[in-house]
Amino acid sequence: MIPRPRSNPLGFPPARAVEHAAFQLRAAPESVHQLLLPVWRVEVEARVTTAEPYQLVDRYLSRGVEEAGLTTPDELATFLALDPALTRQALAYLRAVGHLTEDRGRLTLTDLGRRSLADGEMYTVKLGDRRVVYFDAWTGTPLAEGHAEKGPAGPAPLDTWTSPPPLLAPDPFRPEAAHALAEPGVADPKALTWDVEYLLAHVVRTGDARHLVCTRPRRGEPDPVLSRALDRSPACLSALADAGRRARKAFEEEAGRWLSRRGLAAHPPHRDPDGMHRVRLAEDDFTGAGPAGDGLTGDLPALGSVVVLRSGGFFQLWCADPGARRRELERRMDAFRAARPRTPEALSAQESRLASLLDVRPGQK
């Protein structure tokens, strides 16, 4: 079901998710559903090693101990022509970060200090580093940092959502899932506490019963981790299969109602060989130049637009004339350029996306 909120907290409409699935991925979408997806919010503790450039004094003191065999503060201060007080202060710091040890007044470089000197970077180890990581609710896979983004579409407890769309149930969290966070610089990750939160998403159901999960961080493009995880949950597959059946059952009635309100009852959707339902109109219908009193002006979306219905079905507003579609591409690109300065890469990507949507060749006149 697609609710009708006053604002769009995801930052992109469900039609954008359908367009990407249909015209970029060629995935033959059948319906789209706005859902709250469960994710596990986990506080993780680990031993974290970070690297930063050496301070000049720290590097030369370390070299003095390792390469010149100098083992006392006075020897180092004399050899390097440093102020004794500054030398003692710098050595105290190197001991504090685990680069030096002192035994009966003699200084020795630790393994961490030797590794830092060999690599030319000053490594520091933080024990008990704590951070929050999100995991998907079915396979226990860590999610990218972008999913932790707070705001109207970020993960949040269920009681913070007002009139939430349908939600799916999580599987129990497995603490050993935190082991997947181990990588160079991160050792012994452990899950301390975990709670379920919910992430708003558009889920596109395809003709082969796959599901493409689109969330705010990816702006309408499917999230591969969440999409794979959802498709491995039998309960989720059953719930979305039911939603898909409801969308198909309601499609004719909901599409007819939408078209009738705009004076288009004589133009029912037809399903094309690619699986997309399309409503075919003349170019003048989109420009408002049709016969007087035909009711086609006003809130009719632009040529090529995907209209998403309340139950999750959709159709595309179409014109069979390729010239009309090329002119629509030019009009949209002119508006895109005029909105604000764009990079050549952004212009090329937008033209490619719109050309796929309108089934014309980019750059063609």
Helix (H) or strand (E) holding 278: strand 277-280
Q: What is the pLDDT of residue 76?
A: 92
Query: What Rg do the C-alpha atoms of the chain give, in angstroms?
Result: 30
69-73, 85-89, 111-115, 124-128, range with the lowest pLDDT: 124-128
- Residue 171: other Cβ atoms inside 10 A: 17
User: Which two three-digit tokens encode residue 93?
Assistant: 């710091």
Cα–Cα distance list, 315 to 3, 114, 198 (Å): 17, 65, 29
* Mean of the per-residue pLDDT values of the chain: 88
Residues with Cβ within 8 Å of residue 232, at least 6 apart in sequence: 138, 139
CATH number for 54-120 (one of 1.10.287.130, 1.10.10.10, 1.20.120.1200, 2.40.37.10): it is 1.10.10.10
pLDDT tens-place string over residues 199-224: 889 999 998 889 999 987 767 789 99
* 3-class DSSP string for 181-202: HCECCEEEEEEEEEEEEEEEEE
pLDDT(238) > 60: yes
pLDDT tens-place string over residues 284-295: 888 753 333 333
Q: What is the pLDDT of residue 5?
A: 44
pLDDT(150) > 70: no
Which residue reads 């499609």 in tokens? 251
Environment class of 95 (CB within 10 Å of its CB; exposed 0-12, middle 13-18, buried 19+): middle
pLDDT tens-place string over residues 162-198: 666 788 889 999 999 999 999 888 889 999 999 999 8
Q: What is the pLDDT of residue 104?
A: 86
Domain boundaries, the chain: 14-46+128-243, 54-120, 247-358
